[in-house]
């Protein structure tokens, strides 16, 4: 498969494995089933509509909409046109979105109708169209009126297919540039490694604005010619009703902890399924073991990043080790090195995880200096994640550089929240940390030094006016002073240890 990725779009690479019977279901939504024939036609019509709107190959199309089948058709239509897809978290505020639009300079922004006026005010020269949770809006009106003839703009595998923003701990957010080859090669690897076939039905309750739900789940299913039960969001009742019809599920750790907490969840509920996969946040060894004991299924945990898609995975056949993210995927080099010198470390030695392969991104949008700083001379990407290999070749992640917090599968960077807290008149200084949480994996927590009496609820409400909900601290704790080392640096490790049982 990899040899065919030198030219052509991601969609062309996927479509080479579409089922011969185009009537086979691709998406099964609560209101309609979309066949592979529907996918081919709707994505072509979307490409034609975008072209008629003046969108050209290489133009960025920013999308902040609720999950729907039509939103997925928009992704494929952008791809077929040779434009660049820029998904944005639906929780981002207008203030947050304005930065991304200013940096990426999209030609088109597609948003929920309720946000159209606010986004138009910060969209600059970009055209603004709408698409709601039911798949209706001015964008889909244009699609409905468009030609349905085949349309695939010639492009190379190294052409830019998507930009995903990944916020930094300091400075401005970075747009990770992903090529058609990056996305198609990773999908091909995972289809084979996880044994997906056209007989599979994936239970899809993930968002489609980040790597997991969009590039991993969707691309794998399309390339396997399989089907998806496409739920708008994770709802435990809907999940329980859909499980009997699914053969596989991809989820974040929260999915599995909530299943275990459901009174009707039992071994019988998943006895027919062949594979359950977890990612986007660390899966606790306790949840892994409890799930196995309850169901007989060993959850398959893997490791990926916005910049690289998937890097490692516990094996389909073989030992799936609780607490480990598994073995390097075929064709991908994963090593652990000393963060400063770059010296490759041995078994059991903790260092920074570095990755090289066709899955690794092209660099950061309009940040050549930052891109150069994040790669070794031999082409390995410096992930910033800390880990070690055991003597069986399994990778374990023990922490993240730059204090990244992963809460409910979303990346949260403390510096952004600390800046917002420090700007409040009642706070002298702050430190934001992630603490263990049974449901979210990690809970965003603020520890502050106050100038006087503070109101925790008021602070959370104020932050919520400019920050996405998942970034707002679940608790705001007050200390007389923050712990520091001899150099004056705040010791977040001390805070994490002190409050490690806060949510337990």
116 near 128, Cβ under 8 Å? Answer: yes
- What Å distances lie between residue 470 and 61, 92, 119, 460, CA to CA? 25, 9, 20, 11
What was the pLDDT predicted at 30? Answer: 94
298 near 205, Cβ under 8 Å? Answer: no
- Which residues have CB under 8 Å from 346's CB, separation 6+? none
In angstroms and rounded to an integer, the radius of gyration of the C-alpha atoms of the chain is: 22
pLDDT at 401 over 80: no
Give per-residue pLDDT as tens, 10-19. Answer: 999 999 999 9
- Which residues have CB under 8 Å from 347's CB, separation 6+? 388, 389, 390, 391
Give per-residue pLDDT as tens, 129-180. Answer: 999 999 999 999 999 999 999 889 999 999 999 999 985 434 467 999 999 9
SS3 readout for 483-502: CECCCCCECHHHHHHHCCCC
Pairing of strands 248-251, 275-278: parallel
Across the range 282-306, mean pLDDT stands at: 92
**Furthest-apart CA atoms within the chain: distance in Å:** 69
Q: 257 has which bridge partners?
A: none
Q: Among all chains, which residue has been given the structure tokens 């080479």?
A: 16
Domain ranges of the chain: 2-233, 275-402, 404-498
- Which residues have CB under 8 Å from 142's CB, separation 6+? 49, 52, 53, 129
Least trusted range by pLDDT, from 2-16, 259-273, 340-354, 417-431? 2-16
| CATH architecture classification, 404-498 | 2-Layer Sandwich (3.30)
Across the range 372-399, mean pLDDT stands at: 93
What was the pLDDT predicted at 81? Answer: 97
Among the four given CATH numbers 3.60.21.10, 1.10.1040.10, 3.40.50.12780, 3.30.300.30, the one describing domain 2-233: 3.40.50.12780
What was the pLDDT predicted at 54? Answer: 98
The DSSP annotation for 150-168 comes to: ------BTTSEEEEEEE--
Give per-residue pLDDT as tens, 223-234. Answer: 999 999 999 999
The DSSP annotation for 465-477 comes to: TTS-GGGS-SEEE
What was the pLDDT predicted at 403? Answer: 75
Pairing of strands 395-400, 381-389: antiparallel
Give per-residue pLDDT as tens, 235-259. Answer: 999 999 999 999 999 999 889 989 9
| CATH architecture classification, 275-402 | Roll (2.30)
Name the nearest CA neighbour of 128 among 115, 136, 55, 120: 120
Q: Cβ of 233: how many Cβ atoms within 10 Å?
A: 11
Element (H, E) at 203: strand 201-204
What was the pLDDT predicted at 377? Answer: 96
């Amino acid at each position: 498969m990899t040899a065919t990725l030198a030219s052509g779009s991601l969609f062309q690479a996927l479509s080479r494995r579409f089922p011969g019977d185009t009537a086979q279901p691709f998406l099964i939504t609560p209101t309609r089933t979309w066949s592979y024939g529907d996918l081919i036609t709707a994505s072509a019509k979307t490409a034609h509509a975008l072209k008629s709107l003046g969108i050209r190959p290489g133009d960025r199309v920013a999308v902040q909409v609720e999950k729907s089948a039509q939103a997925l058709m928009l992704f494929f239509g952008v791809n077929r046109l040779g434009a660049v897809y820029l998904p944005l978290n639906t929780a981002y505020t207008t203030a947050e979105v304005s930065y991304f639009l200013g940096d990426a300079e999209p030609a088109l922004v597609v948003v929920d109708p309720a946000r159209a006026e606010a986004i138009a005010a910060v969209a600059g020269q970009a055209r603004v169209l709408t698409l709601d949770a039911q798949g209706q809006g001015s964008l889909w009106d244009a699609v409905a009126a468009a030609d349905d003839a085949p349309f695939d703009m010639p492009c190379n595998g190294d052409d830019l297919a998507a930009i995903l923003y990944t916020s930094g701990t300091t400075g401005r957010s970075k747009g990770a540039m992903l090529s058609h080859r990056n996305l198609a090669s990773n999908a091909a690897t995972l289809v084979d490694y996880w044994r997906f076939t056209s007989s599979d039905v994936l239970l899809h309750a993930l968002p489609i604005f980040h790597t997991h739900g969009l590039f991993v789940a969707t691309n794998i299913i399309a390339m396997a010619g399989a089907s998806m039960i496409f739920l708008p969001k994770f709802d435990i009742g809907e999940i329980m009703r859909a499980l009997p019809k699914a053969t596989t599920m991809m989820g974040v750790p929260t999915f599995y902890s909530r299943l275990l907490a459901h009174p009707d969840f039992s071994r019988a509920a998943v006895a027919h399924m062949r594979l359950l996969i977890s990612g986007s946040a660390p899966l606790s060894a306790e949840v892994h073991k409890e799930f196995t004991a309850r169901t007989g299924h060993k959850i398959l945990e893997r490791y990926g990043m916005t910049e690289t898609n998937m890097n490692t995975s516990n094996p389909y056949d073989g030992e799936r080790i609780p607490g480990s993210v598994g073995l390097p995927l075929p064709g991908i080099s994963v090593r652990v090195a000393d963060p400063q010198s770059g010296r490759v470390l041995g078994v059991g030695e903790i260092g920074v995880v570095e990755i090289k392969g066709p899955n690794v991104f092209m660099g950061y949008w309009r940040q050549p200096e930052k891109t150069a700083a994040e790669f070794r001379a031999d082409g390995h990407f410096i992930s910033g994640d800390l880990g070690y290999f055991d003597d069986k070749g399994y990778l374990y992640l023990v922490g993240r550089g730059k204090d990244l917090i992963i809460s409910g599968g979303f990346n949260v960077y403390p510096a952004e929240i600390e800046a917002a807290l420090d700007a409040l008149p009642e706070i002298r200084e702050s430190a934001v940390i992630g603490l263990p949480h049974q449901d979210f994996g990690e809970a965003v927590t603020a520890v502050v030094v106050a100038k006087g009496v503070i109101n925790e609820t008021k602070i959370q409400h104020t932050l919520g006016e400019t920050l996405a909900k998942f970034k707002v601290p679940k608790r705001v704790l007050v200390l007389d002073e923050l712990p520091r080392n001899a150099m004056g640096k705040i010791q977040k490790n001390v805070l994490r240890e002190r409050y490690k049982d806060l949510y337990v």
